[in-house]
Amino acid sequence: MTGSGPLAGLRVLEVGHILAGPYATMLLADLGARVTKVEPPGGDLSRQVSDAYFASLNRGKRSVRLDLATPAGQDRLHDLVRDADALLVNLKPSAIRRFGLTYEALKPFNERLVCVALTGWGMEAGDEPAFDYVVQAATGIAALTGEPGGPPLLPGYSSADNSAGIAAALGLLAQVVSGRGGQIEVCLRDVMLSQLNYHAAAWLNDGRAPRRLGGAHAYYVPAQLFPTADGHLALFITHDGFWRSFAAEAGIEGHTTMAERAARREEVIAAVTKALAADTATGWEARLRPLRVPAAAVRTLPEAIDAAPDTVVEAGGYRLVGSPFRGAGLSGPYGPPPSLGEHGDMT
């Protein structure tokens, strides 16, 4: 969205590469913020992946190319800062400090500036590599994912980067709303540990470490993927009402309470697996949906997009998934991704 939306008038600078930071500021741009992407002479590394990849993280932004290692680049940065509300930086801590991208360094140019440092491990943790999959491995995500007794696994998308981007955008807005400038830190490690909320609480309070359950929920049973006569079905039974409706349709008797189902997990899973083998995943989905039982056939991304065509938008000639925010004035029109240095080039 350009020039309109609830964040119209908010001026945000972005310095960063690839995913977490650019995703954070794209969400803000989608809501109407004026986002200026400050790129190094060679541009954001995501430009080297593909044009569509870059567009998926940078639609609706402006691009200024600066060499922050030079006095001229620093002077131009300070000019931009004087007219900005916030700066979001997604670099390693040493680079953030070296290029003067902290609140303390920029306060003389704009005391009300909100500075967000989005890093892997935190500003005081050094420059250890912090790519998405590394953080997922280090924070327990990979250890929880996969089949019992099998190897740890990673999800097929960048969950740590995307989650940290959302958190960084929220933190930025919270500080802007406060009316005070200042420094905010968001790191991928903290975001992923935060998202392990109930698992972490069980360990910290009850000494109960989480187990790898093949994607099954730790508390609700049955709540996982099941094979069917054709395809897999996600079933998520969270309370006894859902179970009664499902059990009646599937012809399963007993296990009427949540506590009983949790205590007899293996027996319940075996009964459900046997029952679901009688129909296909899409067949079960069609049967359970009118009963309001939470269930969905496993679809590929192309199938999912075909089923939700309203999520696809056009931005500068690229077809992309649009903003996740729905409501009056919250969607479109979407601006194109900027060419490198399109709005200013100091190299």
**pLDDT tens across 70-97, in order?**
999 999 999 999 999 999 999 999 999 9
Clarify whether residues 110 and 150 are in a common domain. yes
In the numeric block, which tokens belong to residue 99? 């290029």
Digit-coded pLDDT (tens) for 229-251: 999 999 999 999 999 999 999 99
63 lies in a domain? Answer: yes
**d(C-alpha 296, C-alpha 287), whole Å:** 11
Name the DSSP letter for residue 345. B
pLDDT tens-digit map of 164-211: 999 999 999 999 999 999 999 999 999 999 999 999 999 999 999 999
Alpha-carbon torsion (264, 265, 269, 272), positive or negative: positive
Within-domain flag for 341:
no
Give residue 2's pLDDT.
Answer: 53
CATH number at residue 36: 3.40.50.10540
Rounded distance, CA 281 to CA 225, Å? 10
The answer to whether residues 32 and 76 belong to one domain is yes
Euclidean distance between CA atoms 294 and 247, whole angstroms: 13
- Kindly state whether residue 282 falls inside one of the protein's structural domains: yes
245-249 own/partner pairs: CB under 8 Å, 24+ apart: 245/288, 245/291, 245/292, 245/293, 246/288, 246/291, 246/293, 246/295, 249/287, 249/288, 249/291, 249/293
Same domain flag for 71 and 181? yes
Q: pTM for the full model?
A: 0.93
Judged against a pLDDT cut of 70, whether residue 107 lies above it is answered with yes
Q: Where are the alpha helices (DSSP H) in the chain?
A: 20-30, 51-58, 71-82, 93-98, 103-106, 132-138, 141-144, 159-178, 188-195, 197-206, 240-250, 258-263, 265-276, 281-288, 301-307
Domain co-membership, 143 together with 113: yes
What is the helix (H) or strand (E) element at residue 207, kind and residue range? none
The yes-or-no verdict on residue 1 having pLDDT over 70 is no
On whether both 317 and 263 belong to a single domain, the answer is no
pLDDT surpassing 60 at residue 260 = yes
| 208 inside domain | no
Structure-token match 């009850």, residue found: 206
Cis (ω within 30 of 0) for the bond into 210?
Answer: no
Q: 186 and 164 in contact (C-beta within 8 Å)?
A: yes
- Does residue 206 fall inside a structural domain? no
> In this structure, are 32 and 70 located in the same domain?
yes
Question: Any idea which of 90-104, 120-134, 283-297 has the lowest mean pLDDT?
Answer: 120-134
The whole-number pLDDT of residue 328 equals 85
Q: Evaluate if residue 347 carries a pLDDT over 90.
A: no
pLDDT bucket at 4, cuts 50 / 70 / 90: confident
Indicate whether 271 and 316 sit together in one domain: no
pLDDT score at 186: 98
Q: What is the pLDDT of residues 132-168, one digit of tens each?
A: 999 999 999 999 999 999 999 999 999 999 999 999 9
188 lies in the same domain as 260: no
For residue 324, give Cα distances in angstroms to 301, 310, 331. Answer: 16, 11, 9
**161 belongs to the catalytic site:** yes
What is the pLDDT at residue 332? 72
Extract long-range pairs of 147-155: CB within 8 Å, 24+ residues apart. Answer: 147/212, 147/214, 148/211, 148/212, 148/213, 148/214, 149/212, 150/212, 152/212
| 330 — pLDDT class (breaks 50, 70, 90) | confident
Confidence band, pLDDT 50/70/90 cuts, at residue 117? very high
Q: Which is the catalytic residue, given 83, 161, 190, 206?
A: 161
- Distance CA(79)–CA(75), nearest Å, equals 6
- At 98, the pLDDT band (50, 70, 90 cuts) reads very high
AA letter at 116: V
Q: What is the mean pLDDT of the chain?
A: 96
Instruction: Report which of 55, 63, 73 is spatially closest to residue 35, judged by C-alpha positions.
Output: 63
What CA–CA distance (Å, rounded) separates 172 from 164? 12
For 293-316, what is each residue's pLDDT tens digit?
Answer: 999 999 999 999 999 999 999 999
pLDDT at 3 over 70: no
* Number of compact structural domains in the chain: 2
Expressed as residue numbers, the domain containing 260 is 223-227+232-297
